[in-house]
Amino acid sequence: MAVAVGLTPEMLPMIVAVCLSKGAIAMSRKKVIVKRLNAIQNLGAMDVLCTDKTGTLTQDRIILEKHCDVKLQEDDEVLMLAYLNSHFQTGLKNLMDRAILTHTEVHAHPKFPEFAKVDEIPFDFSRRMMSVVVKTPEGAHRLICKGAPEEIYKHCANFELDGEIEPVNEMMRADLKEEFDQLSADGFRVLAVAYRDLEAKAAYSKSDEKDLILRGYVAFLDPPKDTARTAIAALQADGITVKVLTGDNELVSRKICHEVGIATDQVLLGTQVEKMSDVELAEAAEKTTLFARLSPAHKQRIIKILQGAGHVVGFMGDGINDAPALRAADVGISVDTAVDIAKESADAILMEKDLQVLEVGVREGRKVFANILKYIRMGASSNFGNMFSVLGASVFLPFVPMAPIQILANNLLYDFSQVAIPTDEVDPEQVAKPRPWSMGAISRYILFIGPCSSVFDYVTFFVMLYVFGCWDPANASLFQTAWFVESLLTQTLIIHIIRTNKIPFLQSRASWPLIAATVTIMMIGASLPFSPIGPMLGFTPLPFLFWPLLAMILLGYALLTQAVKTLLLRRKWVTG
């Protein structure tokens, strides 16, 4: 039972909880609010960040720049139709609706007060458009439709230009698309506006969105953020691949990505995603950095495909359509200005809608993970080594190498020395790349570092048996005391070796609370045999000669462990 307790890392839940809590507090100071503590580790392990375009790469300050006919000439009637559509809809008004509604030219239109709402056909992501039916000043019922140009085209039988209505044939459809593409290539987000006069009836439905007359376009500018290029470069330098998942069209998205430094050699559209099998999509998603014209289901599927390929995936979004992807991601990231469902679905919320804030959060997440990993590596390897020594020594000794109460006291003191791990510093190279869990790496640490402590345990056994004559069971207490002290000191010392990839104490030093905890526990362990409590635990005062020999054992242990650690890192059998 004592051996089993000695093998158990009892402090792991506490160390993990404190590390995560400390990380959450540190991140809150840097404008990242963590809703779920376990998301901190995922943030540090994240190697792919999928982000929406609007507001993260762009300024989220959409301005209506153009309202034009199909030949891209300014046309106030197009603006009037778009305004009526946005004004009378009852659904959630997006940024483009607000940009239209704040355009002052419409309010002065003499006929605007004479229009009245009759019905509404709400937006959905399959149609990517919405319509309202209004009663015109002349008493007619007019359906006004606004949406993605490529979807509006499908429902248009005619177009209007200079007061003339002309049919849309295949040649004309290509010309119309060319005009639309010109706007998109200039960085505009474009909505098409179409209408149709209907016979009056009680209610209208999607089936009435046919034989429309294309009237023109409203075009918006949402320029990229000044900080976006720098932030993306920092994320990429941190080993994170940034992919853009957007509902906007390919041309606008390409331009924005180009301006912020995201390569767009590989682009996938939502229509292509739908036709791909999971295997095909997994292969394409690895190479693709821009996904355009996506529905919420497309975003969710892409994230799951990337996770299936072994990536730790983060998703950043703030709209209703981002909620499924936020829930599917390993770490969902939203902002404090997001819609409620997005904030509810997210694991972390940025107080500023800026990728630079996220980059700081990623580094904090990696620090937390590094400190958790320190305890796991140290606890598992040293516990394994010491218990291996207990079982091995029991084979040839005529008495138990350490009494159960001594094992428990050793374990208790050793665990107290690790309470300060959450305060420890982390070397820059340990936060330079994503830090995923690797059970293989932890196992190799246990198998290689653990026996290092056993080697010097057996050296201690040899010294006590052949130098101090502890073969006699009458000297069992002296043997047990010596191994207790050596075991506690080596276990406590090990944290300073495995906490860094560098040379401990010389190239990298622990935080002062961890150093203080280590020194305090080592002093308690060394003085315990001479204290009044010593006899109660079965300890005997140690002879003077033992201490210089112990110093040599500790030095040899530190050098061997450092050498094995360096070998593991050079062979890349463990991660830094």
For the annotated catalytic residues, the residue numbers are: 52
SS3 430: helix
DSSP letter string over 463-500? Answer: HHHHTS-TTSGGGHHHHHHHHHHHHHHHHHHHHHHHT-
Distances from the Cα of 275 to the Cα of 272, 281, 296, angstroms: 5, 9, 16
DSSP letter string over 163-205? Answer: TEEEE--HHHHHHHHHHHHHHHHTTEEEEEEEEEEE---S---
Apex 182 CA angle, 181 and 187, nearest 5: 90
| DSSP single-letter state for residue 323 | H
Place of tokens 């094995």: 564
Place of tokens 């060319």: 178
Pair 375, 15: CB distance under 8 Å: yes
Q: φ and ψ at 317, to 5 degrees?
A: -160, 165
Place of tokens 């159960």: 404
Pair 572, 464: CB distance under 8 Å: no
Which residues are bridge partners to 332 per DSSP?
A: 315
Tokens (6 digits) for 371:
């400190």
| Residues in Cβ contact with 283 at an 8 Å cutoff, skipping those fewer than 6 apart | none
Q: Where are the beta strands (DSSP E) in 201-327?
A: 212-221, 241-245, 267-269, 290-292, 313-316
